[in-house]
Structure 1
Amino acid sequence: MTQIIDRFEDISGQYDAAFVDLWGCMHNGVHALPAAVAAMQKYRAQGGVVILVTNSPRPWDSVARQINGFGIPDDAWDAIATSGDSARAAMFRGIVGEKIWFMGESPRDEDFFQPLKIIENPVNIQKVPLEEAEGIICCGPFDPLADVAVNRPEFLYAKTKGLKLLCANPDIIVDRGEVREWCAGALAALYTEMGGESLYFGKPHPPIYDLARRRLAALDKVPSDPRIIAIGDGIGTDILGALQEDIDALFISGGLAAAETKTVHQPDPDALNDFLNAQQMSASYTIGHLR
């Protein structure tokens, strides 16, 4: 059974570092959540290290600029690991070929194709029509408000050709302010359901955790075997990923699962346990909102 806590500082002293989700924890897609920012600033002031671990398909420096615009200052975090960086490395190694059909919102997702200096002899990525493609790069839907089923005709054609889909963001949905939007993960799930092959590099899959650990180690601020807690509102991404990585998790019930857990300030204990049981998931701790 999960332990409901009132503030992160109630448990933060047990951990050297926190892998913290962004959307739904530190911001709502429109602006920063001040209590969460203050909690991370306090944790860092007391010696903790904050690695922002996000399923954003953007490079980390693009995410840094974005969250600064939302009102999350540099002193609230130490480093950023993005699904986009993990997926870009795989793309430039040619995991889905050189000629790709791109799914995403232009120009917002164009940063995904920035050169990646750590890859030696990268393949020459070329965006082409689906009929000429060797693979698919999916940063998200063309229209995040449209039902993902509108992509079935293209996916049927792609599956028949045996194209692999590289998913740059495994999230299924996000809430941008009060508006719920579809993400790349929903498209990848549909493609897999139709018999296609989808490749994932963000939470809950191992590549992004490997990247986060390397970003943490590069800071040289924690022991070689640090005590890590993962913080997030995605039960199938943040919490599942933490369980698979064998690290403790703090579930933010007031994010994507606010309705199911009846969270206002804090979750309703019975509703929370019913939700976790239905998801066949557990979390070491739960809090309504990061603070």
Structure 2
Amino acid sequence: MIRAIAELGSEYRAWLVDIWGVLHNGRSTFGGAVAATRAFRAAGGIVVLLSNSPRPSEGVQAQLRGLGVPDDAYDATVTSGDLTRHELAKHAGARVYHLGPESDRPIFGGMDVQLVDKDSAELIVCSGLFDDETETPGDYMGLLTELVGRKLPMICANPDHRVERGSELVYCAGALAVIYEEMGGSIVYAGKPHRPIYELALKCITELAGAPIPRSEILAIGDGVNTDMEGAASFGVDAVFVASGLHVPSPATGQMNELGDESLDTSHLAELFARVKRPLAAMRSLSW
């Protein structure tokens, strides 16, 4: 368990940094995390933000600016939205049912697909719940059962199950996709922890560096055990776990550890990483 990443993180040439939960919580930017990525870049490092956001990179970058994350905090972004568009390009002319909020519609901009209702569809793109502030996956059992019965393939444009939004946890597309898959549906996951998004990120790092960088010189930083940590382990890159409210409760009162936080202890971390390879280190929040 570490307080600052400078000593460990500076040994790498490139970082793959999760956005939601590491740089911001959907409401507020984490200043310490922004300072860390800027410091790493100032020392010559490459920072690629790797996100399961269903928005294409342009939309994510605009959102980051709106939250106060400066452009010089990173070199590039790679998102589930980017990868979803890559997958959609394989289905030119397809009739697509969009399962998700209207705000995610930019994912289809300029694509050769036709957005239709569920009864006319031959492909589903799931980017989230229609209203993640009031709904849960349980509200979708009937719809998913109907779609599975028609054997429609699904592209999951955000494999996250839940994310922090302010102080709340909200459900994401991954929570619906896993139910669809358990029902027997066919799924393509466009994001972490699956390999294609890491290959896209590695290609981006190579272009930025002007030459291939070995995976041993790339560090992944994220707060998702089953996305960021599992994906990094499967792809063969080292990782640091940021213990956000996604998996670890906020500090309360009681016995404190060396970080002054009783909720981030070795027993809890051992339980979290019982199935996934343990990262190099854990920290409450990213800071330099």
Same fold at TM > 0.5: yes
Whether the aligned pair in 1 keeps the contact of 2:161 and 2:172 (CA below 8 Å) is yes
Which residue among 266, 270, 290 is the counterpart of 2:286? Answer: 290
Structure 2, unaligned stretches of length 5 or more?
A: none
Post-superposition Cα deviations, 1:104-147, rounded to whole Å, max 9, x if no partner, equal 111x111101226xxxxxxx311111111101011111111312
Residue in structure 1 matched with residue 241 of structure 2 by the alignment: 251
Say which of 78, 84, 87 aligns to 2:84: 87
CA distance in 1: counterparts of 2:213 and 2:268, whole angstroms: 39
Of 86, 105, 108, the match for 1:110: 105
- Measured in 2, the distance between the counterparts of 1:220 and 1:281 equals 28
TM-score w.r.t. length of structure 2: 0.91
CA distance in 1, matches of 2:279, 2:25: 22
TM-score (norm 1): 0.90
Change (3 A) 1:203 1:93: same
Alignment of 1:137 onto 2:134: no
2:221 is aligned with 1:231: yes
Alignment partners' CA distance in 2, 1:261 and 1:203? 28
CA distance in 2, matches of 1:173, 1:21: 14
Q: How far did residue 269 of structure 1 move? A: 2.5
1:121 aligns with none
- Quick one: percent identity of the two aligned structures? 37
What is the count of residue pairs matched by the alignment? 278
Distance 1:44 1:133 in 2: 45
**Separation in 1, partners of 2:242, 2:250:** 12
Instruction: Tell me if 1:210 matches 2:199.
Output: yes
Change over 3 Å in CA distance of 1:152–1:285 after alignment to 2: same
From the superposition, tell whether residues 194 and 100 of structure 1 become closer, same or farther in structure 2 (CA, over 3 Å): same
Query: How many angstroms apart in 2 are the aligned matches of 1:148 and 1:88?
Result: 25
Provide structure 1 residue ranges, at least 5 long, that are not aligned to the other structure.
Answer: 117-123
**Structure 1: 4+ residue segments shifted above 4 A:** 260-266
Partners of 1:223 and 1:131 lie apart in 2 by 46
